[in-house]
Amino acid sequence: MIVFSRKRPSSPPAGGPVGTVVKIILLGILNALALWALPVLLDDRQYVLLGGLFLGVACIDYVFLSPRAYPLRFLLPGLFFMALMVVYPIGYTVAVSFTNFGTGHILTLEQAMSQYTSRYILKEDLPAYKPQFFRDESGHFAVLLTGSDGQQLVGIGDKAVPLAESPLKPADVNNDGTYEKLGPYQAITGLNVFTYLSTLQNLSYAYRGNVLKMRSLEEFATYVPQFRADKARRALIDFQDGTVYRAVNGNFTSAKGVSLDIGYKTTVGWRNFKDLLTDRRISAPFFRVFSWTVIWAFLSVVETFTLGMFLAVLLNDRRLNLKGLYRVLLIIPYAMPAFISALIWRGLFNTEIGVINRMLQPILGRGIPWLQDPFWAKVALLIVNLWLGFPYAMLVSLGALQSIPGELYEAAMVDGASGWQQFSRITLPLILVALAPLLIASFAFNFNNFTVIYLVTRGRPAIPNALTPTGATDILISYTYRMAFESGNGGNYGLASAVSLLIFLIVGALSWINFKFTGALEEVRENA
C-alpha cells in the first residue's frame, strides 16, 4: 500500500550568512544612492521620477527581503527594464504631446524669467573704465578699474566699490608707475592675461544699480538690466520703455501682441491634436502624409508579396534545375544591410550621374527626375522597397508551400484542372490563410519604415507652403522626426509627440487586428 503525503513546499534556499551580508550591503548601497538622488530630483522638481525611484527601491527591498516574494526575483529584472524602456518613454511622450515643448519653449517659467533678467544693455553714455587684473594664491581675481576722469574702483567678488572705501590698496613695489599688488593680490602682467581670459570675460561687478562688465581687455563698460521680473503678475517689465510682457500660453506677450523671443514650457491641453485636425497649414500636409503612408504600406506589402510568392512557386516546381543556386542569389538583397542598399539605390537614382538615368537616356531621350518629382520619387521608393522586401516574402511563401499536401494537386489534375486553376483554387487560398498574420505585420512594419524613406529621399521633395517641414514622400514616422529635429524654426517636440501618439494608436490597432485575425485563422484550421 502506497501512502501519499502532502508536504509543505520547502522555503526558498537561503544564501547563508555570507549571502545575507552581501545582500544587505548591496541593498544598503542602493538605498543610499536613492537618498542621494532625493535632493537633486526635488531641486529639479522631477516629482514623477522621484516617485518612480522610491517606488522601485521599495519594491526591490521587499522582493529581496521578504521570503513570500521570492518568485518575483526572477520577474523583477524584466519588469524593471520594461518599465524603463517601454512604459516610461510612452508615458513621457504622452505627457509631452499635451505641452508646447520645443525650441523656444524648453525652459520653465522661472528659468525663462531668470534668463531675461540676466540680460544687460550697454550704456554708451555712462562711464567706462580701464582694467588692471590681479590674482591671489587661491585663484581668486580682483580688478582695479580706472575711469577717464581718474576715478578708481576695486572690483572683487560681485561688487565694485571706490578705491578709498576698499580695504585693498594698490602698491607700486618697483616705483615704475605700475601697480604690482592690490592687497594680497598679485598683478597679472603681459600675455599672462590670456591664460585666464575665459574667466576674466565672465567677471561682472554691481555698481550703483548698474553692472560693470568686460567689453574688451582694455575696457570695462557700464551695462544696465534689460528686464525686471514681476513674479506676482507673472510678467517682465522692460526697463527702457516700461512695456509689460505677461506670461500667456507659453510666451511673454505685451498688450500690443508683441512676443519676446524666448517662451516657456507649459501645458496646452489638446491644442496639438486640434492643430493637426483643424489648422489647414498643419492639417493639410498631415493628411497628405497620412494618406501616402497608408498607400505606401499597402503597395509595399502587395508588391513584395506578389513577387515573392511568384518566385516561391517557380522555385517549388520539381522540374526546375539549380533551385539551390537560384535561392542563394535571390536571398542576397535580404542578407545585405538595408541602410547600405538604400544608399546605393539613392546613388543609382541620381538624376545627373545615376546609372539608371544613363541607361534610360538613349531610350527616352531624357532623364527621369527620380528624386525631384513627387510621383517619380514615390515610384523610386517602391522599387527600392520591392528589392529589399521580396526575399522575405519568398522565404515565407516557400515555407507555406511546403505545408500544402501534394494530394490536393494530384486530385485537381485528375479532375482536369489547369495550372491557373490549381494556383487560384488551391495554392493562393492556402498561402493566404498561412501568411495573413505576416502580411498584417508587414503592413505595420512598412507603416513605420523610416530607413528607406529617409535614406533614399529624406522625405523630399518639399510640399510648398507647409507650416511644418513636410515632403511629398514623407510617411508619418519621418514626418515626426523632421518636425522634431529639422524644422527651420527649431524643433516642435509637443506636436511631434502628438503625431507619435497617433502612430502608436494606429500600429496598436493593427496589432489588435492581427491577434484577432490570427485567432480566427486558428478556428478555421480547427474546423477544416
* CATH code of 67's domain: 1.20.58
> Does residue 383 sit in the same domain as residue 521?
yes
Residue 11 lies in a domain: no
* Secondary structure element (H or E) that encloses residue 426, with its range: none
**Closest among 362, 389, 499 to 443, alpha carbons compared:** 389
pLDDT band at 14; cut points 50, 70, 90: low
**492 with 468: CB under 8 angstroms?**
yes
CB atoms within 10 A of CB 468: 25
Q: What is the pLDDT of residue 1?
A: 44
**Per-chain mean pLDDT for the chain:** 88
| 500 and 416, same domain (yes or no) | yes
- H-run or E-run covering 264: none
Q: What is the mean pLDDT of residues 40-52?
A: 83
Mean pLDDT, rounded, for 244-254? 94
Contact 187, 134 (CB under 8 A): yes
The verdict on residue 510 lying in a domain is yes
Q: Which three cell numbers stand for residue 357?
A: 538615368
User: Quick one: DSSP state of residue 462?
Assistant: B
Residue 524, pLDDT > 50, answer no
On whether residue 317 sits in a domain, the answer given is: yes
* pLDDT tens digits, 189-206: 888 999 999 999 999 999
Among residues 264, 288, 323, which one ends one of the domains?
A: 264
Q: Is residue 20 part of a domain?
A: yes
Is 290 inside any structural domain? yes
Domain that holds residue 75: 16-97
484 with 363, same domain: the answer is: yes
Is there a single domain that holds both residue 439 and residue 355? yes
- Can you tell me the mean pLDDT for 63-71? 86
As a whole number, mean pLDDT of residues 158-181 equals 91
Is residue 467 within 8 Å of 489, Cβ to Cβ? no
Yes or no: say if 499 and 480 are a contact pair by the CB < 8 Å rule: yes
Contacts of 105 (CB under 8 A, 6+ apart): 250, 263, 264, 265, 266, 494
Q: Is residue 9 part of a domain?
A: no
Per-residue pLDDT reduced to its tens digit, 446-470: 999 999 999 999 999 988 877 778 8
Judge if 126 and 198 occupy the same domain.
Answer: yes
d(CA 528, CA 524): 6
Tell whether 319 and 382 lie within a shared domain.
yes
Q: Write the CA distances from 75 to 30, 60, 417, integer angstroms.
A: 19, 11, 57
SS3 243: coil
347's grid cell: 546613388
CB–CB of 273/99 below 8 Å? no
Cell 491641453 belongs to which residue?
269
Q: Does residue 255 sit in the same domain as residue 340?
A: no
Give the distance, in angstroms, between the CA of residue 508 and the centroid of all CA atoms in the same chain.
Answer: 20
Mean pLDDT, rounded, for 326-349? 92
Compute the distance between CA of residue 477 and CA of residue 473 in angstroms, rounded to an integer.
11
Backbone phi, then psi, for 209, in 5-degree steps?
Answer: 80, -5
- Give Cα 419 to chain centroid, integer Å: 52
**Is 512 part of a structural domain of the chain?**
yes
Q: Is the pLDDT of residue 9 over 50?
A: no
* 112: amino acid identity, one letter: A
Shared-domain flag, residues 232 and 316:
no
Query: Rounded to whole angstroms, how far apart are CA atoms 431 and 303?
Result: 16
Q: pLDDT confidence of 510, banded at 50, 70, 90?
A: confident
Mean pLDDT is lowest, of 13-27, 201-215, 306-320, for 13-27
Q: Are residue 213 and residue 240 in the same domain, yes or no?
A: no
Same domain, 365 and 472: yes
The three grid cell numbers given for residue 91, joined into one nine-digit string? 508615458
Peptide bond into 461 cis (omega under 30): yes
- Nearest C-alpha neighbor of 435 from the set 447, 446, 443: 443
The model's pLDDT over 381-409, given as tens digits with 9 standing for 90+, comes to 999 999 999 999 999 999 999 888 889 98
User: How many domains does the chain fold into?
Assistant: 4
End-to-end alpha carbon distance in the chain: 48
443 shares its domain with 303: yes
User: Could you tell me the CA-to-CA distances from 15 to 19, 58, 67, 76, 311 in Å, in that order?
Assistant: 4, 21, 12, 19, 59
Phi and psi at 475, nearest 5°, equal -105, 175
Write the CA distances from 343 to 349, 369, 370, 455, integer angstroms: 10, 17, 14, 6
Same domain, 513 and 426: yes
Pairing mode, strands 129-135 and 120-122 = unpaired
What is the structure's pLDDT at 96? Answer: 94
- Pick the last residue of a domain from 225, 251, 284: 225
Confidence of residue 522 (pLDDT cuts 50, 70, 90): low
Residue tagged 505576416 (cell numbers): 438
Integer-rounded Cα Rg, in Å, for the chain is 36
In a domain, 6, yes or no: no
Distance CA 116, CA 246 (A): 13
Q: Which residue has the cell 487560384?
A: 424
